[in-house]
Each structure stands twice: as C-alpha cells, then as structure tokens.
Amino acid sequence: MKKIGVSLFILFTTLFSTHCYATWSIIAVDRKTGEIGIVGASCTFDVSGIASIVPGKGAIVIQAASNYYARMTGVDLMENDVPLEKILEAMMDEKFTPEKQQYGLILLDPNTKPLVYSGSEIQDWNGEKLGSDFLVMGNILHGEAVVSNAYKAFDENRDKPLAERLMLALKAGEEAGGDKRCETQYARSAFLMVYNPQDGAILKLAVQGIEKGGKPAVTLLNQQFDFWRKEEKGKN
C-alpha cells in the first residue's frame, strides 16, 4: 500500500514489468478531477505488469500475452500527444505479435473514446465493453458476466470516487466467476493504481504470488483498499 511519485513509478515499471498473462481489467478516467486509474486480476503470479498510467494523459493495458515493448511504445506516443488510433496502430506492429494480445487504451481528452483490440489468438471467453470514460476487457474468463457485471458496477456508482468505483468493478468481476483457470479462487494476483493530479502521485495496491487454491486475490486486495481508505479518512 503506497503512493509513489511519478518519476519513481516510471522507474518501477521499467525495471519490473515482464511478459505476463491477465484476465480481466478496468481502465478509467475522471475528466472532472483528472484522475486516471486501472485495476486488474488474473490467475497468474503477478498481473500488475500489464498496465501503465501516463500522468495527465491516459492509460494503457496490454493483457493476454502481454508485451512490455508494445506497451512502452504506446506510452511514449501517448506522452507526445499522438492520437489514440495512431497509438493503437503502432502497438499492433507485427513484431509485437498483436494477435496474442488484448489492448486497452484511454485518454483524459473528453473528445476521445476508449479503444480495445482483442487478438484472434487469445483464449475464450474473451471480450470487452466500452463506456465513454472507461472500458472493461478480459480473456480466459468464466463467462461474459465477468465483463458485463464489472461494467455495471463501475457505471452505476458514479457518485463515488474513482478508486472506489474501480474496486467495486473488479470485485463484481470476481463474484461473476473471474479467471476460469482459478475456479473458486477467481484470481491469484490483483492490483489497483490511481494517479491523482492534486499531489502528482500514483496510489498502488497489489496482491501477488498467492498459491493456487489459496485465498482469492481480489478479496485480499479489497481488504487492502478498505484499510487504505480508513487511513485516508483518519488524515482528514
């Protein structure tokens, strides 16, 4: 449970992001507050390497056979205000094997809509659902309800802060069955990260390395989130 400065966060993701597989994630922006957030969960050791937040700009997730170099290509272009369609086009270069991946991109710019591309070689169930300021996508899921329930939970709680809406959406995906490889554990790793322009820091909460058959990672992440929220309230 930590807030890390943007420069440290970029270093952290550069050093520790690797090829990894993922199942369901939610990417969102709050265009009133300028916040950008991502949550994800998977039946893998550590799912957090699928995501990048570009402060003040937007966010990118590459899951399934996640490719670090494709994601960093997208980050560089997003930092330089390249249109979203062109970013996705560059990330789909053949050298990045895009048909094995699922891409999700979003910008703070109110004149843009999120984009998703699901490669032809990713496993079922896979799919996505897009709103104007968020998207939900997944692969190797228990079923379509994982995505649709997560979408509904996020969209129906617009009175709540972005971080809370993301956590509610991820939890709804767990309750709908999550990653089908994990059966009733639903996921072995999960994360939440939210960029807040007020302090220029990124909140990151993560659970990883849970043994198969152990406690559900999303439930453990939700417990972390509840503890963090109580700490934040205590500061005010």
Mean pLDDT of 141-169: 97
For 168, the 3-state DSSP assignment is helix
Mean pLDDT of the chain: 90
pLDDT band with cut points at 50, 70 and 90 for residue 232: confident
| pLDDT, greater one: 66 or 167 | 167
Look at the block and give the residue holding tokens 């710019």. 109
pLDDT band with cut points at 50, 70 and 90 for residue 60: very high
From residue 156, how far is each of 126, 168, 193 by CA, in Å? 23, 10, 21
Report how many domains make up the chain: 1
pLDDT of residue 14: 35
Mean pLDDT of 29-53: 95
pLDDT band with cut points at 50, 70 and 90 for residue 66: confident
Q: Give the whole-angstrom CA distance, residue 202 versus residue 225.
A: 14
- pLDDT of 121 strictly over 90: yes
H-type alpha helices, the chain? 6-16, 68-79, 84-91, 144-155, 162-175, 217-235
Among 9-23, 53-67, 158-172, 213-227, whose mean pLDDT is lowest?
Answer: 9-23
Mean pLDDT of 44-62: 94
Q: What is the CATH number of the domain that holds 71?
A: 3.60.20.10
| Domain that residue 201 falls in | 2-235
